[in-house]
Amino acid sequence: MIKNYLKIAWRNLKRNKGYALLNMAGLAMGMASALLILLWVNDELAYDKFHANYDRLYQFYENQTYDGKTFTFAAMPGPFAPAAKQEIPEIEYITRTDWGTRHHFSFGDKNIYEWGLFADPDFLKMFSFKVLKGDTSKFLKDPTSLVITDKMAERFFGKDDPIGKTLKVNSDRLFTVMGVVQQPPVNSTIEFSWLASFKIYEGRNQWLRNWGNNGIQTYAQLHENADPVAVNRKLKDFISNKDSSTIAKPFLFGMKDWRLRSEFEDGKQTGGGRIEHVRLFSVIALLIIIIACINFMNLATARSEQRAREVGVRKVMGADRFSLVRQFFGESMVMSFAAVILAGFIVWLALPGFNKLVEKTIEFDFSNPVIWAGLPGIAILCGVLAGSYPSLYLSSFNPITVFRGMRAPRGSAVSVIRKGLVVVQFVISIGFIISTVVIYNQIKHVMNRQLGYSKDNVMIIPLRGGMNEHFTAIRNDLLATGVVDNAAKSNSRVISLNSSSGDFRWNGKDPSKQLLITLEWVSPEYISTMRMQLAAGRDFYPDATRDSSNVIINETLARIIGKPNVVGEKLYRESGEELTVVGVVKDFVYGNLYKEPEPLVLFCQPSAVNSLLVRLKDGQDVPKSTAAVESVIKKHAPAYPFEFRFMDEDFNNRFKTEMLTRELSKWFAILTIIISCLGLFGLAAYTAERRTREIGIRKVLGASVTNMVVLLSKDFLQLVALASILAFPLSYWLMHNWLDDYAYRINIEWWVFVLAGGLAMLIALLTVSFQAIKAALMNPVKSLRTE
Amino acid sequence: MIKIKDLEKIYRTEEVETVALNKLSLEVKEGEFVAVMGPSGCGKSTLLNILGLLDDPDGGSFMFNNIEVAHFNERKRADLRKHNIGFVFQSFNLIDELTVFENVELPLIYTGVKSAERKKRVEEVLDKMQIMHRRNHYPQQLSGGQQQRVAVARAVVNRPKLILADEPTGNLDSSNGNEVMQLLTDLNEQGTTIVMVTHSEHDARYSHRIIRMLDGQTVLENIMV
């Protein structure tokens, strides 16, 4: 019996190649996009799971409350880890790390920057980074030794044994390779190419001894059966007990939430974060599958007239309803499995591009559950989803009715359902179009935001070797090239200022209120190089020493201090430091680009900096200018490969998530429109076929081709119009919610809806009118004879 | 074999009520060959549908092999039908996607006959109908006469007790028509009961008895000699 079904299914496909192709193409496209999304979702869910003690690994976070508002940080004070390990018995292992740095390594003629971490010896005991070579018990203890990854070892030593080899770091210190670990997998939150003893970092950063300075990351593994709630109770006042002037309340943040649920609001985990994207994309995958299955259902029921006689005959021959349901299910399964094979092929082809889009390195690998379980799973899901309604409908035909008219009953219910399904497809498609446009506009809106400085033509060059000390000479050489407008030094990259402190006071400040203020250390040329504007007071003097205890604040802080003339005001810090405000810089946007600027203090301390900011003259040839800058830098730091980024690239990178959302939304819109139109195309074809006789008669009676096209397209366009009307409020609501996350945002304009609705109508019209014109041009004599 | 008493069938639409069968009574004995004649709309096809258990009556009694089947549900009717009744239609009603062999095989599949047995029986009957050489062709590749012979082969492959033929020669020329009528006569001589609806007096003469219908009732019975 199954053989008979498969046979019929196969011959049906062969006989109706066009129909089969439309159906398969739509279904396969839907399946492929769902599979790609599932691959992404699976990759996100698999983050950090390779750690054997995944459930027992934590990072320490801390809450700090300022002015009633609680902020959550990952930064911890230096003495915390050793003290916690001694005093909290539940902690099995604990390690500190810095935030990761790129250092310059050289071996022979090889010069490469490598990213790595300073860590305590427990690091490799708690995290499951596979050790390939070396004695684990000695790792990270000796401050002149390194553990490197196999990939880094290959870069420097090729096939040679790296153990015992010496690498020169930052062209002065020598480190011996003591161990090799496997490169962390791509879905690891913690990334590194090398690990070095935390003692080195500790030795260089005296502030680490202070309980009030939060500046490093700390991780722990708890003992089996240890209760994290009990640990959190012990942690709560751990830091304030050591230093009563601190306000940090540490707590454990479980590894299972690092990747997907890292959002905190007012000191509490919201449960949000990337998981929202995971959920959203899963829903979208399902929507696309549904759209594709709707095509299948509609095309199957639309051509039911062709199958009606077969159903009648089979029933007369003794088939009961159940065996017919099974038969039609069988057919949709055959179609679905054929489509999934095609989908697998599409995924395989699209994966490189998709990886580039979402910045992943997912491979088409049959050990991946999304591939080995997802492919057949999706096939079965689609087979059932797409086959359910047609099989129930087709198997319901009454043989007597069928034989009498040789036609399926023109049930109004079925055509209503068919129309309803088309509307559903277009509601989703139009929704995606609207979302794409809104997201596009929002990104454009923020990117065009007046920043308060000019981000164009600024090179950011990391200060290496003696570059910091020789800044004045470098700057003079740069200006002498003729392509450089100005140059300055800063600690951060302007767009993101990372340091902040709550210990500022001034006369008249409410002592009960703590205020978190952003800090930045710059050279005197900073404001002029960045083309920022002063609102009051003066810029720093060219001779930095004259301003060593003077600061420039931003307008926001000036407003908070709230005095008519803030220039000359004194600021006091916990350490006893006394600072004088000499100027007020106009607010510029940094950090969260969607929010208003936070209060800021600029220190004139050219030694405490990391980056060289070089502003090129406007309108110059960029490659030539950068080459000129490179030759100057090479002259002063010959041992280091030249590295730089443009500030506007840096700026654009800040929109990665939004850009990704935009790109995905765009592709979803294109896909859903294509799939929906494939369905519409098929439906139009069948409508035209069914109405061949009517068209023939109308033509004989004198109807024009235009009349015919209108006649045949009208019904479909009405459906798309209805879909628009339904999609408008729905997508307005969705997009309004999305925009709600951004303080600096656009309003949703009415033309977006008109555009999306109009676009959908136009595409639908083109799709349908092709069939309509074809039908209308048919010779009426021929079409009348077919009856 | 068939005993019908006061059978009623009424078709209703919103505006009209059409009486298709009006208290019709009829008996067909095992081994008989009965022709039903009458003008269009007299209820012939309705009668045949009810006899074929494709439709249920609105009133009256229908005994099939001494079992009251008038109120059987769909599943029971399908079951009785597939084991006992073969159909031959005016327009053949072969499935275009299946070959001659597969079309004839279909009823055997639905009655659950094993594959080897099916092959044997299909070949047997195709041989008898002299269309063995066409076994792998599709219906559209055959002439009308050949198609109807396939349809007859399909009707008898399950060895039904009763064959219902609805104008079996209606779409055929006279020589092909005669061939089909001869086939039916042969089957009847081998013991199969046949009820045939026809417009053709010529075809009706092959039967033992002609029942003439008008307005949902039998009006006359001719016994053929």
Residue A699 has pLDDT above 90, yes or no: no
With CA atoms as reference, report the closest residue to A397 among A342, A321, A343, A345. Answer: A321
The model's confidence at residue A410, banded by pLDDT at 50, 70 and 90, is low
With CA atoms as reference, report the closest residue to B215 among B62, B18, B49. Answer: B18
Residues of B in contact with A313 (CB under 8 A): 93-95, 106
Report which of residues A138 and A601 the model is more confident about: A601
Option in B78, B97, B106 nearest A15 (CB)? B97
Question: What value does the CA radius of gyration of chain A take, rounded to a whole number of Å?
Answer: 34
Provide the shortest C-alpha distance from residue B36 to chain A (in Å).
18
By C-alpha distance, the chain B residue nearest A324 is B110
Query: What is the average pLDDT value for chain A, to the nearest integer?
Result: 88
Residues of B in contact with A318 (CB under 8 A): 78-79, 81-83, 107, 110-111
Residue A407 has pLDDT above 70, yes or no: no
CB contact under 8 A, A4 and B106: yes
CB A70 within 8 A of CB A266: yes
| pLDDT for res A787 | 38
- Sequence letter at residue B158: N
The model's confidence at residue B225, banded by pLDDT at 50, 70 and 90, is low
Contacts of B23 (CB under 8 A, 6+ apart): B6, B7, B8, B60, B217
Option in B97, B106, B111 nearest A11 (CB)? B97
CB contact under 8 A, A317 and B107: yes
Tell me the mean pLDDT in the region A348-368: 88
| Region of residue B95 (left: phi > 0; alpha: psi -120 to 50; beta: else) | beta
CB contact under 8 A, A310 and B74: no
| pLDDT for res A256 | 92
Cα→Cα distances B139→A53, A80, B121, B173, Å: 69, 87, 20, 18
Tell me the mean pLDDT in the region A242-258: 91
Residues of B in contact with A321 (CB under 8 A): 74
Tell me the mean pLDDT in the region A78-83: 94
Query: What is the average pLDDT value for chain B, to the nearest integer?
Result: 88
What would the DSSP string read from start to end of A656-681? HHHHHHHHHHHHHHHHHHHHHHHHHH
Query: What is the value of pTM for the model shown?
Result: 0.77
| pLDDT for res A654 | 82
Q: Which of A306, A317, A404, A406 to mutate to test the interface with B (most CBs of B within 10 A)?
A: A317
Could you read off the pLDDT of A108-124 as tens digits, one per residue?
Answer: 888 899 999 999 999 99
| pLDDT for res A411 | 56
Least confident span in A395-409, B132-146, B168-182 = A395-409
Q: Is the ipTM of this complex over 0.90?
A: no
Residues of B in contact with A309 (CB under 8 A): 93, 95
Option in B45, B91, B111 nearest A318 (CB)? B111
Option in B55, B82, B98 nearest A318 (CB)? B82
Token reading at A733:
């609501």
CB contact under 8 A, A314 and B110: yes
Could you read off the pLDDT of A186-224 as tens digits, one per residue?
Answer: 889 999 999 999 999 998 888 888 898 888 999 999 999
Distance between CA atoms of residues A373 and A500, nearest Å: 49
The model's confidence at residue A322, banded by pLDDT at 50, 70 and 90, is confident
Residues of A in contact with B82 (CB under 8 A): 317-318
Least confident span in A373-387, A596-610, A673-687, B31-45 = A673-687
The model's confidence at residue A659, banded by pLDDT at 50, 70 and 90, is confident
* Chain A residues with a Cβ under 8 Å from any Cβ in chain B: 1, 4, 7-8, 11-12, 15, 309-310, 312-321, 323, 399-400, 403-404, 406
Please state the φ and ψ torsions of residue A110, each to the nearest 5 degrees: -90, 125
| Region of residue B53 (left: phi > 0; alpha: psi -120 to 50; beta: else) | left
Provide the shortest C-alpha distance from residue B225 to chain A (in Å).
33
10 Å CB burial of residue A318 (0-12, 13-18, 19+) is buried
CB A491 within 8 A of CB A675: no
Contacts of A145 (CB under 8 A, 6+ apart): A138, A139, A175, A176, A177, A178, A196, A197
Taking the mean position of all CA atoms in its chain, how far away is CA A328? 41
For chain A, give the percent of residues with pLDDT over 70.
97
CB contact under 8 A, A400 and B89: no
CB contact under 8 A, B102 and A320: no
Strands (E), A290-386: none
Provide the shortest C-alpha distance from residue A281 to chain B (in Å).
42
With CA atoms as reference, report the closest residue to A96 among A75, A115, A113, A114. Answer: A75
Half-sphere exposure of A201 (CA within 13 A, CB side): 23
Tell me the mean pLDDT in the region A506-524: 87
Q: Which residues pair with B17 in a beta bridge?
A: B12
- Sequence letter at residue A412: S
Token reading at B59:
């009133």
| pLDDT for res B44 | 87
* Chain B residues with a Cβ under 8 Å from any Cβ in chain A: 45, 49, 52, 54-55, 74-75, 78-79, 81-83, 87, 89, 91, 93-98, 102, 105-107, 109-111, 154
| pLDDT for res A412 | 66
Could you read off the pLDDT of A290-307 as tens digits, one per residue?
Answer: 888 888 888 877 777 778
Size of interface A-B (CB pairs under 8 A): 67
CB contact under 8 A, A310 and B95: yes
Distance between CA atoms of residues B225 and B209, nearest Å: 9
CB A360 within 8 A of CB A281: no
- Which segments of A70-197 does DSSP mark as H helices, in order? 80-87, 123-126, 150-157
Residue B62 has pLDDT above 60, yes or no: yes
Please state the φ and ψ torsions of residue A225, each to the nearest 5 degrees: 70, 0
